[in-house]
Amino acid sequence: MKKITSLIAFGLIFANIFAFSAVAQAKEKAPKKVPEFGISSVKQMTDEIAEINTAENFITIGKGKNPKKVLTTGTVIIKATETSTQTGTLADLVKGEKVHLWVSKKPGGNKTIQALIITQFLGAKALASQPPVAQFTLSSSQGLENATPSLAVSLSKATTGDVKISYTVSGTASGTTDYSLANGNLIIAAGQTTGIIPLIIANDTVQESEETVIVTLTAVTGATLGAQKIHTYTIKDDDQATGTVGFSTTSSSGAENVSSASFPVTLSVAATQPVLIDYTVSGTATGGGTDFSLSNGTATISAGQTTTNIIANIVDDTTIESAETIIVTLSNPRGATFTSSIVYTYTITDNDNANIGFGSANSAGSEATTSMSIPVTLSTVSTKEAKVNYAVTGTATGSGTDYTLANGTLTIPAGQTTANIAFTIVNDTLDEIDETVILTLSAPIDATLGATAVHTYTIQDNDNPTVQFSSATGSGLESVTPVSIAIAVSAAPAEQVQVTYTVTGTATGGGTDYTLANGTATIAVGQTTTNIPLIIVEDALVDAAETVIVTLSSPTNSTLGSTTVYTYTITDND
């Protein structure tokens, strides 16, 4: 059986040996048998590595005056350990390491050897005599307080006698309240390869954090300790007080120039273990860095804490757009149950509004124009409906006296740039001064007030009195002076009336026959008449009768009546 085992364990070695044998010289004497491998070679030896040359595929072994240069294929190095056989290269060797050489050829006398190198050499007989290796099957495990853990220790092979393994116990858990296991010994019976260290967990009702039981193998009889000498068992608490979790509020909003928005998730009672809640992101806003950055994910409320925040980064773009929403929906809570508040809506309000205002600051029209519209404009087309309030003041009287228009709100639909504030003018019969209707914009929504937020509309009165001479003619001797030429209005004016007059006729002015130059006559507010003073010159000449003709024109705050020409006749008295 041992011979069969040796042949199987070193089958790979045999394949490489066969390759080396093919290069043996034809005159080489018949090789001898090597019992450990069950195959032939010229010679085998063990010595210390003095030099490694990977470029030329050789090593030098031995020290002193007779070191030996050992040629190899450079690509095949067999490393036989207790449990495996593997291939390697010269780079796997270490200077000072002892190597076993399987010599297949000795060209050039005793100085140069061609060989297969076997490091960490153990023959089949030596392998069989090695003690088993004892170690934990796993380095760690975990379970709830109500679990029954299995701390398995394994042997690399069965033995004919019992194996005794000593261990110590430590960790963050308490040996008096959290588990039962003291320092002790584990016996793996002859013929067996596994033993269990009996760790018993106390299933208490205390809320607590995760705790550990650390078992360390310290000594062994009948085997050797392997590398995996420590096992850490984590006790997970199963006495959590199941709180409720959800959003503390369900909505909020902010301008897009607020760089981040936090959505608080709150737990009703702190837990000793982290509480995990999945969430998905939807809404009318576009994620991925267009309007915001926040992907589906998992929120964690740490042990001992009662809140955490889901944070979205908001993008402050330059696009004029409607308000948009980010909707975060919670799901799949671990360590808590949901409240009713599992959906949070955050509204991003746009800060890239168009300017809104009047196209001009002033306009005017006759009160005979009974319908008037004052345009309000946006500086650019917007994807949002814009609204603005307006207030009405001025010297004119509303509520149907001079006009009809109350305070209100104007709406400019999305995609449009203009809307009108329309009002009605009352065409009365009163003579009155021009009056104003003043419109003032305020409190825009999805727009920003522009420079022209006030517009003044002037209602021009169309009910002026007529102005004319009181009579069309008059006469008198040249000795009668001065002569008053009367001008009258049809009604007392609300504003000062002026009218221009020019002087003509057969008489000679400039102090010859009379004195009166072209001029302007004025009728004050509330008055109905005024006089133009004509000075007559009494000369010693015998003259025919002569005329002074005064003609009215260009009235203000009035209209010309029918008697616009006055003729005064000067009769000679010489």
- What string of DSSP letters covers 161-181? S-EEEEEEEESSS-TTTTEE-
Per-residue pLDDT at 280: 97
Does the domain at 2-129 match CATH 3.40.50.620? Answer given as no
Amino acid at 498: Q
Residue whose entry in the numeric block shows the structure tokens 């069965």: 158
Who has greater pLDDT, 50 or 374? 374
Pairing verdict, β 454-460 and 362-366: parallel
Residue 518 structure tokens? 């072209």
Residues ≥6 apart with Cβ < 8 Å to 198: 181
pLDDT category of residue 429 using cuts at 50, 70 and 90: confident
Other CB atoms within 10 Å distance of the CB of residue 90: 21
**Average pLDDT, integer, range 226-234:** 93
Does the domain at 133-236 match CATH 2.60.40.2030? Answer given as yes
Per-residue pLDDT at 319: 84
**Average pLDDT, integer, range 237-242:** 68
Residue 524 predicted with pLDDT over 60? yes
pLDDT category of residue 389 using cuts at 50, 70 and 90: very high
Who has greater pLDDT, 275 or 29? 275
- Burial (CB count <10 Å: 0-12, 13-18, 19+), residue 399: exposed
Closest C-alpha among 135, 136, 128, 188 to residue 5: 128
pLDDT category of residue 214 using cuts at 50, 70 and 90: very high
Spell out the CATH class of 355-460: mainly beta
Per-residue pLDDT at 40: 43
Per-residue pLDDT at 44: 63
**Average pLDDT, integer, range 504-508:** 95
Residue 272 structure tokens? 């000793």
Average per-residue pLDDT in the chain?
83
Same CATH topology for 243-349 and 466-571?
Answer: yes
- What string of DSSP letters covers 332-400? EEESEEE-S--EEEEEEE---PPEEEES-SEEEEETT--EEEEEEEESS--SS-EEEEEEEESSS-TTT
Cβ contact 273:302 at 8 Å: no
Architecture of domain 243-349: Sandwich (2.60)
**Average pLDDT, integer, range 179-194:** 94
Who has greater pLDDT, 276 or 210? 276
* Top mean-pLDDT range of 17-31, 54-68, 462-476: 462-476
Who has greater pLDDT, 37 or 564? 564
- CA 163 to chain centroid, in Å, comes to 64
Residue 22 predicted with pLDDT over 60? no
Per-residue pLDDT at 11: 41
Q: What percent of the chain has pLDDT over 70?
A: 81
Per-residue pLDDT at 129: 56
Residues 120 and 143: their CA atoms lie apart, in Å, by 41
E strand segments, 402-491: 403-404, 408-412, 418-425, 435-445, 448-449, 454-460, 466-469, 473-477, 483-489
- Which helix or strand (DSSP H or E) is residue 12 part of? helix 11-21
Residue whose entry in the numeric block shows the structure tokens 């019969």: 429
Kindly report, residue by residue over 48-90, the tens digit of the pLDDT.
888 888 788 778 887 766 777 777 665 445 544 444 445 556 7
List the chain domain ranges.
Answer: 2-129, 133-236, 243-349, 355-460, 466-571
Per-residue pLDDT at 88: 59
Least confident of 42-51, 303-312, 553-562: 42-51
Per-residue pLDDT at 31: 41
Per-residue pLDDT at 117: 56
Residue 393 structure tokens? 């003041």
pLDDT category of residue 110 using cuts at 50, 70 and 90: very low
Least confident of 85-89, 273-277, 421-425: 85-89
Closest C-alpha among 551, 554, 550 to residue 509: 550
**Average pLDDT, integer, range 206-216:** 87
Per-residue pLDDT at 48: 80
Residue 41 predicted with pLDDT over 70? no
Does the domain at 466-571 match CATH 3.30.565.40? Answer given as no
What is the three-state SS of 279-306? Answer: EEEECCCCCCCCCEECCCEEEEECCCCC
pLDDT category of residue 42 using cuts at 50, 70 and 90: low
